[in-house]
Amino acid sequence: MAFLSHHLQLTLLFLFLFNATLAYSSWRFEKNVDYNNWISWNIKNYQQKTTLKAESIVQAPGAAGRKALDLKLRKAEMNKVTISVSQNGTGDFKTIREALNSIPLYNTRRLILVIKPGVYREKITIPRTLPFVTFLGDANDPPTITGNDTASVARRDGSPIGTFESATVSVDANYFVAIDMKFENTAPHETGSIGEQGVAIRISGTKAAFYNCSFYGSQDTLYDHKGLHFFNNCFIQGSVDFIFGYGRSLYENCNLNSIAKKVASLTAQKRTNSSLESGFSFKDSVVTGSGQVYLGRAWGDYSRVVFSYTFLDKTVLPQGWSDWGDQKRDFSVYYGEYKCSGPGANLTGRVPWARMLTDEEAKPFIGTYYVEGDSWLIRPY
Ligand SMILES: *[C@@H]1O[C@H](CO)[C@@H](O)[C@H](O)[C@H]1NC(C)=O
Ligand SMILES: *[C@@H]1O[C@H](CO)[C@@H](O)[C@H](O)[C@H]1NC(C)=O
Ligand SMILES: *[C@@H]1O[C@H](CO)[C@@H](O)[C@H](O)[C@H]1NC(C)=O
Ligand SMILES: *[C@@H]1O[C@H](CO)[C@@H](O)[C@H](O)[C@H]1NC(C)=O
Ligand SMILES: *[C@@H]1O[C@H](CO)[C@@H](O)[C@H](O)[C@H]1NC(C)=O
């Protein structure tokens, strides 16, 4: 704000306070209106999408009724290139970084990196200029990309790198795909000390899909930062807030495994205002592990998380959800459950603001249309 004049700063401050006061005096009313509008919008949106016959990825590409793939993606898929990475020198490259560096900037082709088994101790960033990259691992022996940076690791100037840069793998590019890969951050989690966030992967690009992948970390394992994301048949492990961010993401057939020692939260979804199209939807999944966990805690005032058809083990706290100590969020978060099972799905003790969704309310969240999948999810293999 250094470039703003004092006068402007004061005006902005005044406007902010004025708005905040207004907002506060009528927030309860507005939240309900917002909420109802959102529900009806979401149902309408769902109906539009189903009339387009948006189907899950099991439908053959090109089948009647399928919404057209987005054009850039279609072009990229018609022009695939495959390169291999193997640590013993039998591939095109020995490291993933070298393979990525070999790709010309402003890539327009699907680039499949066949990554041979092994432990790759590499810190990797896929920049925005490298869309359409696929990491194709090995189902029998998934290659591991590992690191152990935490938020408190110092830069050269002594300042901490922060959670964002602690990621072992950072995906800033769109249209990223990973299959049969293991992403890891091995930094230990000692409850009580700060700066121990250690991200295994950060996904900031949109239209990213993960199949048969695993994610290992402690605090902040999977930074589902932003964009449309799809996770299928994945294993995600961590201790605190281990799926977090404001992506709009569908997790199908996934196992969320807590290694928390005490009380923690599986997710920290950061939807900060009612117009953001963001939220995590977990479907046909399993929650297991140690400690006592909330399904979610509200990082943003409008945090949105839904669990459907999911087995919730006894590790899930009876309360189910946390407002992170800010009660006004009880009226603005959207925490839904639908047809879940297991001891953790017992509603005795649930916070009253958890939502047991009706069929109609659940529908928008329980298909790949939730992430607009019909326009970009392709058969991965
Ligand atoms: C190199 O690694 C690949 C993949 O792990 C393996 O299939 C191949 O046998 C190895 N070759 C040699 C010469 O070690
Ligand atoms: C993914 O995992 C499933 C089993 O969970 C397996 O049947 C399938 O072949 C795997 N796909 C690939 C591409 O490895
Ligand atoms: C991170 O891993 C490196 C390489 O294995 C090791 O030298 C270092 O001590 C580790 N750092 C921490 C904080 O554990
Ligand atoms: C909501 O958040 C988004 C992203 O930060 C921002 O672009 C938008 O202006 C916000 N809308 C409102 C109504 O605050
Ligand atoms: C749910 O939990 C309550 C309190 O622990 C218990 O009394 C009840 O039997 C449980 N219900 C089911 C269906 O397990």
pLDDT digits (tens, 9 = 90+) for 303-326: 999 999 999 999 999 999 999 989
Atom 9 in ligand 2: residue holding the nearest Cα: 139
Indicate whether 14 pLDDT > 60.
no
Q: Which one has a higher pLDDT value, 288 or 2?
A: 288
Furthest CA-CA distance within the chain:
67
Average pLDDT over residues 117-121: 98
What pLDDT sits at residue 191?
61
Q: Of the ranges 39-43, 66-70, 275-279, 364-368, which one carries the lowest mean pLDDT score?
A: 39-43
> Which candidate, 128, 78, 130, 125, places its Cα nearest to that of 378?
78
Amino acid at 172: D
The C-alpha atoms of residue 336 and residue 357 are separated, in whole angstroms, by 6
> Which candidate, 255, 371, 338, 353, places its Cα nearest to that of 297?
353
Atom 12 in ligand 5: residue holding the nearest Cα: 346
Listed in sequence order, the residues at least 6 apart from 211 whose beta carbon sits closer than 8 Å to its beta carbon are 177, 178, 179, 180, 232, 233, 234, 380, 381
What pLDDT sits at residue 11?
39
Indicate the pairing of strand 177-179 with strand 208-211: parallel
Q: Which residues line ligand 1 (CB under 6 A)?
A: 86, 88, 90, 116-117
The fold for domain 39-375 equals Pectate Lyase C-like (2.160.20)
Residue 275 beta carbon below 6 angstroms from any ligand 4 atom: yes
Tens-digit pLDDT profile for residues 188-246 = 876 656 778 889 999 999 999 999 999 999 888 999 999 999 999 999 999 989 999 99
Tens-digit pLDDT profile for residues 318-376 = 999 999 989 999 999 999 999 999 999 999 999 999 999 999 999 999 999 999 998 99
Indicate whether 152 pLDDT > 70.
yes
Strand partners, 279: 248
Listed in sequence order, the residues at least 6 apart from 153 whose beta carbon sits closer than 8 Å to its beta carbon are 160, 161, 166
Indicate whether 289 pLDDT > 50.
yes
> Which candidate, 265, 268, 263, 216, places its Cα nearest to that of 246?
268
The C-alpha atoms of residue 124 and residue 130 are separated, in whole angstroms, by 13
Tens-digit pLDDT profile for residues 85-114 = 999 999 999 999 999 999 988 899 999 999
Q: According to DSSP H, which parts of 179-314 are helical?
A: none
Q: Which residues line ligand 2 (CB under 6 A)?
A: 139, 179-180, 212, 233, 381
Atom 10 in ligand 5: residue holding the nearest Cα: 346
The string of DSSP codes covering 307-361 is EES-EE-TTB-TT-EE-TT-GGGGGT-EEEEES-BSGGG--TT--TTSEE--HHH
Catalytic positions, written as ranges: 241
pLDDT band at residue 63, thresholds of 50, 70 and 90? very low
Average pLDDT over residues 283-293: 97
The C-alpha atoms of residue 205 and residue 196 are separated, in whole angstroms, by 25
What pLDDT sits at residue 67?
59
- What is the overall mean pLDDT for the chain? 84
The C-alpha atoms of residue 110 and residue 114 are separated, in whole angstroms, by 12
- Whether the model clears a pTM of 0.85, i.e. scores above it, the answer is no
Atom 8 in ligand 1: residue holding the nearest Cα: 90
> What separation in Å is there between the alpha carbon of 264 and the centre of ligand 5?
22
pLDDT band at residue 178, thresholds of 50, 70 and 90? very high
Percent of the chain with pLDDT over 90: 69
What pLDDT sits at residue 227?
97
Domain ranges in the chain?
Answer: 39-375
The string of DSSP codes covering 70-114 is PHHHHHHHTT-EEEEE-TTS-SSBSSHHHHHHTSPSS--S-EEEE
Q: From residue 152, how far is each of 91, 161, 192, 196 by CA, in Å?
A: 36, 6, 14, 7
- Mutation choice for ligand 2 from 114, 135, 136, 233, CB with most ligand atoms inside 8 A: 233
